[in-house]
A and B are shown apart, each in its own frame.
Chain A
Amino acid sequence: MHLANIKIWNFRKIGTSDDDSEIKVDNPGIDLNFNPNLNVIIGENDSGKTAIIDAIRSILGTQSREYQYFDERDFYRKNKEDTRTRQLRIECLFRGFSDQEAGHFLEWIHFNDAGEYELRVWLQAYQRDNRVLFNTKAGKDENGVQLDGNARDLLRATYLKPLRDAESELSPGYKSRLAQILKSNPIFKDQFDKGKDKEKHVLEKYIKKANDRVEGYFNEDSLKEDAEHDIKEGTPGGGKISKKVSEHLEKFFHTHETPDPVFKISGDELGSVLRSLALSLEDNKSGLGSLNLLFIAAELLLLQGENHQGLRLALIEELEAHLHPQAQLRVISALQETQKDLKSQFILSTHSTTLASKLDLDNLILCFQGQAYPMKKGETGLEDEDYEFLERFLDDTKSNLFFAKGVLLVEGDAENLLLPALAEIIGKPLHKHGVSIVNVGSKALLRYAKIFKRKEKGTLPIKVAVVTDLDIALYSDQGVIKSKIRKQGGEKAVPSPNAEQKKLETTFDSDNGNIKVFSSSLWTMEHDLASGDLSKFIYKAVRIAQLITGWSKKGEYKSPSSERIVKQIENADKQFQEWINNGFDSRRIAFEIYKPLDNKSASKAVTAQWLAKLLMDRHKEDMTATQPSNHDTMKHLLETDPQVRYLVNAINHVTTDQDHKNASNG
Chain B
Amino acid sequence: MQVTDNDIERLEQIFFGGNGSFEDEKGERYEFLKCFDKSLDVQACPGSGKTTTLLAKLYLLSEKMPFEDGSGVCVLTHTNVGIDEIKKRLGPKADRLFQYPNFFGTIQSFVDRFLVIPFYIQRNDKRPNFIDIDMARNALLSTFVPEMSKDHRNDVLWFLRSHEKIQRSLVFRKNEDGSFALYKGISEKLVEIKKPRNRAKEYRDWTETEKKRIYTDLETIKKYVLKERGILSYDDAFMYAQQYFELYPQIKKAFCKRFSYVFIDEMQDTYFHQDKIIKELFGEDVIIQRIGDLNQAIMNDNNSESAWTTDNPMKITGSRRVSQPIANILRTVALEGDPELTGWDGCEIPAYIIPYSTEKEPDVLERFVELIKKHELDNVNEYERPIKAVGWVGTEKTTLTIGQYFVGFDKGGNKKRLRLTNLKTALSTIDVSKPNEFHNAIISVIIEVLSLSGIKNPLSKDGIRSYHKSSFVSFLKADHSDLWFEFNTKVAGWVKSQSDKNLAEIFPEIENYLKDSFFPTLDFKLNDKGVNFISDKNIDLGIQEKSNSENIFQSGTECLDHIKVEVNNVHSVKGETHTATLYLETSYQSKTCGEYLIDQLCGSPYAPKKKDTYKKQCLKIAHVGMSRPTHLLCVALNENLVNDNRENLEKNGWCFYPPLEQGH
Binding site for B on A (CB under 8 A): 25, 97-100, 102-104, 106-107, 109-111, 115, 117, 126, 128, 139-143, 145, 148-151, 154, 186, 194-196, 307, 309-310
Closest to B102 in A: A150
- 9 A-B pairs with the lowest CB-CB distances in the bound complex, closest first: A103-B258, A102-B254, A103-B257, A99-B253, A148-B100, A309-B70, A100-B257, A103-B254, A150-B100
Write out the residue numbers on chain B whose beta carbons fall within 8 Å of the beta carbon of A151: 100-101
Write out the residue numbers on chain B whose beta carbons fall within 8 Å of the beta carbon of A186: 68
Write out the residue numbers on chain A whose beta carbons fall within 8 Å of the beta carbon of B125: 140-142
Write out the residue numbers on chain B whose beta carbons fall within 8 Å of the beta carbon of A154: 70
Write out the residue numbers on chain B whose beta carbons fall within 8 Å of the beta carbon of A309: 69-70
B122→A140 contact, CB < 8 A: yes
A103→B121 contact, CB < 8 A: no
Q: Does B470 contact A (CB under 8 A)?
A: yes
B113→A107 contact, CB < 8 A: yes
B248→A111 contact, CB < 8 A: yes
Write out the residue numbers on chain A whose beta carbons fall within 8 Å of the beta carbon of B248: 111, 115
Closest to B472 in A: A143
Tell me the residues in window 259-317 of chain B with beta carbons closer than 8 Å to chain A beta carbons: 259
Closest to A129 in B: B481
B114→A107 contact, CB < 8 A: yes
Write out the residue numbers on chain A whose beta carbons fall within 8 Å of the beta carbon of B258: 100, 102-104, 106
**What is the CB-to-nearest-CB distance from A308 to chain B, in angstroms, rounded to a whole number?**
10
Q: Which of B7, B10, B121 contacts A141 (CB 8 A)?
A: B121
**What is the CB-to-nearest-CB distance from B5 to chain A, in angstroms, rounded to a whole number?**
9
Closest to B254 in A: A102
A128→B6 contact, CB < 8 A: no
A196→B7 contact, CB < 8 A: yes
- Supposing A100-B69, A150-B99 touch, asked if A141 and B254 sit within 8 A by C-beta, the answer is no
A-B contact pairs, 15 of them (CB 8 A): A25-B461, A99-B254, A103-B70, A103-B255, A103-B256, A109-B254, A111-B248, A115-B250, A139-B127, A141-B124, A186-B68, A194-B4, A195-B6, A196-B10, A310-B70
Closest to B7 in A: A196
Q: Does B543 contact A (CB under 8 A)?
A: no
A143→B474 contact, CB < 8 A: yes
Q: Does B460 contact A (CB under 8 A)?
A: yes
Write out the residue numbers on chain A whose beta carbons fall within 8 Å of the beta carbon of B70: 100, 103-104, 154, 309-310
Binding site for A on B (CB under 8 A): 4, 6-7, 10, 66, 68-71, 99-101, 113-114, 118, 121-122, 124-127, 248, 250-251, 253-259, 459-461, 468, 470-471, 474, 478, 481
Interface of B is mostly: helix
When chains A and B are docked, how far (Å) is the Cα of A45 from the Cα of B468? 45
When chains A and B are docked, how far (Å) is the Cα of A25 from the Cα of B125? 13
Write out the residue numbers on chain A whose beta carbons fall within 8 Å of the beta carbon of B113: 107
Closest to A23 in B: B459
In this complex, which of B68, B101, B253, B471 has the most chain A Cβ atoms within 10 angstroms of its Cβ? B101
B122→A110 contact, CB < 8 A: yes
B118→A106 contact, CB < 8 A: yes
A142→B251 contact, CB < 8 A: no
Write out the residue numbers on chain B whose beta carbons fall within 8 Å of the beta carbon of A102: 250-251, 253-254, 257-258
Write out the residue numbers on chain B whose beta carbons fall within 8 Å of the beta carbon of A196: 4, 6-7, 10
Closest to B63 in A: A196
- Supposing A25-B461, A99-B254, A128-B481 touch, asked if A142 and B69 sit within 8 A by C-beta, the answer is no
Write out the residue numbers on chain A whose beta carbons fall within 8 Å of the beta carbon of B251: 102, 106
- Give 8 new A-B contacts, CB below 8 A, not counting A100-B71, A102-B250, A110-B121: A99-B253, A100-B254, A102-B258, A107-B114, A109-B254, A145-B127, A148-B99, A196-B6
When chains A and B are docked, how far (Å) is the Cα of A307 from the Cα of B100? 19
**What is the CB-to-nearest-CB distance from B217 to chain A, in angstroms, rounded to a whole number?**
29
Write out the residue numbers on chain A whose beta carbons fall within 8 Å of the beta carbon of B478: 126
Write out the residue numbers on chain A whose beta carbons fall within 8 Å of the beta carbon of B124: 141
Write out the residue numbers on chain B whose beta carbons fall within 8 Å of the beta carbon of A194: 4, 6
Write out the residue numbers on chain A whose beta carbons fall within 8 Å of the beta carbon of B253: 99, 102
**What is the CB-to-nearest-CB distance from A274 to chain B, in angstroms, rounded to a whole number?**
20
**What is the CB-to-nearest-CB distance from A25 to chain B, in angstroms, rounded to a whole number?**
7
B459→A142 contact, CB < 8 A: yes
Write out the residue numbers on chain B whose beta carbons fall within 8 Å of the beta carbon of A150: 66, 99-101
When chains A and B are docked, how far (Å) is the Cα of A117 from the Cα of B254? 10
A106→B126 contact, CB < 8 A: no
When chains A and B are docked, how far (Å) is the Cα of A25 from the Cα of B474? 17
**What is the CB-to-nearest-CB distance from B568 to chain A, in angstroms, rounded to a whole number?**
37
Write out the residue numbers on chain A whose beta carbons fall within 8 Å of the beta carbon of B259: 103
A103→B474 contact, CB < 8 A: no
Q: Which of A99, A110, A142, A148 contacts B460 (CB 8 A)?
A: A142
In this complex, which of A117, A143, A310 has the most chain B Cβ atoms within 10 angstroms of its Cβ? A143
**What is the CB-to-nearest-CB distance from B474 to chain A, in angstroms, rounded to a whole number?**
7
Write out the residue numbers on chain B whose beta carbons fall within 8 Å of the beta carbon of A110: 118, 121-122
- Supposing A100-B69, A141-B126 touch, asked if A106 and B6 sit within 8 A by C-beta, the answer is no
**What is the CB-to-nearest-CB distance from B561 to chain A, in angstroms, rounded to a whole number?**
53
Closest to A309 in B: B70
B114→A106 contact, CB < 8 A: yes
When chains A and B are docked, how far (Å) is the Cα of A442 from the Cα of B478? 59
